[in-house]
Amino acid sequence: MRARHLGWIAILWIVGAAPATAAPSLAVYGTLPSLEISAISPTGKLVALVATVKDQRQLLILDDHSQVVRRALIGDIKLRSIAWAGEENVLLWYGQTHFLGIDFVQDKLEFTGVMVAPVADVKPWNIFQGVDTISGGVRGSYGIVQRDGRWYGYFGGITLESGTHRDTHYIISGAPELYEVDLQNHNTRRLAKRMVGDNTRRSWRIDEKGEVAATFEFITSDGSWRIVSDNHTLVSGKDPLGQIALLGKGPSGDTIAYQTVDAADVSHFFEIPKTGGTPTELLARENVADTYTDQRTRQLMGWRSDSNAQDAHFFDPRRDKVMRGTQRAFPNLNVELIDWDDAFDRLLVRTNGAGDPGTWWMVDIKTGDASELGSSYLIPAKDVGPIRMLSYKAADGTPLEGVLSLPPHRPAKLLPVVLLPHGGPAARDYPGFDWLAQAFVSRGYAVFQPNFRGSAGYGAAFERAGDGQWGRAMQTDISDGLAELARQGIVDPKRACILGASYGGYAALAGVTLQHGVYRCAVSFAGVADLNTYYQRAVTDSGRNHALVRNLDRELGSSAQRKSASPLSVAQQADAPILIVHGKDDVVVDYGQSTAMYGALKSYGKSVDMITLQDEDHWLSRSDTRLQLLTAATDFIERHNPADPEPAAK
């Protein structure tokens, strides 16, 4: 494939970039990516992308000649995903925090909204906008269907009970119902109702006619589940942990695809004819990280492997061949498939890795061209540090690995280091560009992101090995990585700090309270400090969802185990300075976790600072507050664990 560069957007973004002789400013890393997200229309003739151009965050729609046909300012909405509905409309999913007041069990909720942005010069609007009987945002998206020349979207919504007083701020709890929304005239039609008092969890598969082809039902009290089509149960079972999912249309035609998890925590994928029969297992010998489902038809198309390369695969042989060729066109880089047209001959991909801070490409299979759309970050290739996997063993012999990022202009010898454990904890880090890691790399630090036990991507047994190990083996897996880096002479073990978000924030707090003498400082963003309070709030907020309770019991252990593993319980033993940062709008880890930890540390006379990020959630969705976190964390770590001066240019 040949690479050619579309200058219209690259020139706009290069303006204001840091001089090549200086390290990029923290603002380059800390603000939202210059190009955040993109999607291609069904014909492949139009591309929608969200980009920041001259400090303005915009939705841009390009034609197949790379000309802008629509431009709309979108401000600081907390964007989650984007997709096309035909050639006429772009759908944007976004998060919005709502504060509920004293009449509710929860004080705030994160609602999902879906904005419809027409290609024509028509004002955008929101799904369920103006529908008084539906509240609480969009609760699930189930595909897009064209019927009789019109486009329809399918979404879950909470229906207000008859007699609800609109002058109160109550949102009636309960299971979502399924609605069809006409994307031209905004009309709403209810397709599936819930029973009064019914708390069964449901999801749906919509067929090509816009009717319900299958319904998935899960009862949280006992874990019973079933998939129903035409009032007949196709398949059923029991999973107390609720790890079953209706994926959509199967790859073989008029089938239903679904996922289960067995007693050994191994995932299985199946499809079953809509008319009934014996399920057929898919991907029986694959290590699946995620599946690819068509945004419009909701058909299961392929999967992404959980190898370090994260290869994309497809059931259709032609599409799989196209994907293999696309990956070969970008050697030594991670190639992430973003979207595709219906013919699968125009693909949107994003590359990243050593020397590449995230480049977006339009790949035209017919011409063999890969055209650059733009970059995620305005960072010169020379300033993206080397990235590789490092294998090591825990103290008990468990094989582990993590991502090591190194400064680009310094020898990898006795460097100061930042340990950066991931959130989840059932997630993992891959050897690719990470904005937070590379920000510290640019300041002369080695950064290590350990995939400790309990991480995803290494098999069910490895993930389950983290059960009951918060603050225990999961914690020492992180410091064992530090020991290996020191053994190899890459870092100076006396010059280590730990920084993390969510579970990683917990690990940062635990690293200087449950552990001692390991780190010179710790930075926690949205970290859990008290596991019992975290447990109790999660249970209460879920309405005592039995499946959630069972999952938490397995992961966190008994009340006594939770207390002994809580940094708040041993705050008086903190042996290094701590910076605590938390978003005020966080609905995942309560803001009170951080205020309680800060108060306890202050009462014991410990060195602690706390920063509150106003209007920020758990995911650092806003540029200003993301940069505020990065600036504060960098200043704090440089103060307590300074890097070596930049080597003089030769």
Q: What residue ranges do the domains of the chain occupy?
A: 385-640
Whole-angstrom Cα distance, residue 438 to residue 89? 36
pLDDT given for residue 195 in this prediction:
66
Which of 251, 288, 254, 242 has its CA nearest to residue 270?
Answer: 251
* HSE-up (13 A, CA, CB side) for residue 120: 5
Is residue 104 pLDDT above 80, yes or no? no
Is residue 9 pLDDT above 70, yes or no? no
| pLDDT tens by residue, 614-627 | 988 898 888 899 99
Which of 38, 71, 40, 69 has its CA nearest to residue 56?
Answer: 71
Q: Are 361 and 376 in contact (CB under 8 A)?
A: no
55 Cβ contact list (under 8 Å, min separation 6):
none
Dmax of the chain from CA atoms?
78
Helices (H), 329-472: 435-441, 460-464
Is residue 164 pLDDT above 60, yes or no? no
| pLDDT tens by residue, 237-293 | 999 988 899 999 999 888 999 999 988 888 999 999 999 999 999 998 888 888 999
> Counting Cβ atoms within 10 Å, is residue 81 exposed (0-12), middle (13-18) or buried (19+)?
middle
pLDDT, average across residues 148-152: 93
Right CATH for 385-640 from 3.30.70.270, 3.40.50.1820, 3.40.50.1010, 3.40.50.1980 = 3.40.50.1820
Predicted confidence band of residue 518 (pLDDT cuts 50, 70, 90): very high
Give me the helix-helix angle, 503-511 and 473-487, nearest 10°. Answer: 70
User: How much of the chain, in percent, has pLDDT values that exceed 90?
Assistant: 71
pLDDT given for residue 193 in this prediction:
86
> Counting Cβ atoms within 10 Å, is residue 140 exposed (0-12), middle (13-18) or buried (19+)?
middle
**637: which 2 tokens?**
């770590």
Q: How much is the mean pLDDT over the chain?
A: 89
pLDDT given for residue 162 in this prediction:
59
Predicted TM-score of the model (pTM): 0.89
Rounded to a whole number of angstroms, the CA Rg of the chain reads 25
pLDDT given for residue 107 in this prediction:
62
Instruction: Show contacts of 434-440: CB within 8 Å, 24+ apart.
Output: 434/403, 434/405, 435/29, 435/30, 435/33, 435/377, 436/29, 436/499, 436/630, 437/403, 437/405, 438/29, 438/357, 438/379, 438/384, 438/385, 438/405, 439/26, 439/29, 439/30, 439/630, 439/634, 440/634, 440/637
Predicted confidence band of residue 570 (pLDDT cuts 50, 70, 90): very high
> Counting Cβ atoms within 10 Å, is residue 634 exposed (0-12), middle (13-18) or buried (19+)?
buried
Q: Are 436 and 524 in contact (CB under 8 A)?
A: no
Which of 15, 37, 23, 31 has its CA nearest to residue 360?
Answer: 37
Residue that wins the pLDDT comparison between 552 and 109: 552
pLDDT given for residue 140 in this prediction:
92
The strand pair at 68-73 and 78-85 is best described as unpaired
Is residue 12 pLDDT above 80, yes or no? no
Q: Are 90 and 117 in contact (CB under 8 A)?
A: yes
pLDDT given for residue 648 in this prediction:
55
Matching residue, tokens 């707090």: 509
Is residue 106 pLDDT above 60, yes or no? no
pLDDT given for residue 168 in this prediction:
45
pLDDT given for residue 170 in this prediction:
45
Matching residue, tokens 């050697």: 331
Residue 244, φ and ψ in degrees, nearest 5? -110, 150
Is residue 467 pLDDT above 90, yes or no? yes
Whole-angstrom Cα distance, residue 100 to residue 108? 5
pLDDT, average across residues 485-510: 98
| pLDDT tens by residue, 554-567 | 999 999 999 999 99
Residue that wins the pLDDT comparison between 1 and 360: 360
Is residue 2 pLDDT above 80, yes or no? no
pLDDT, average across residues 491-517: 97
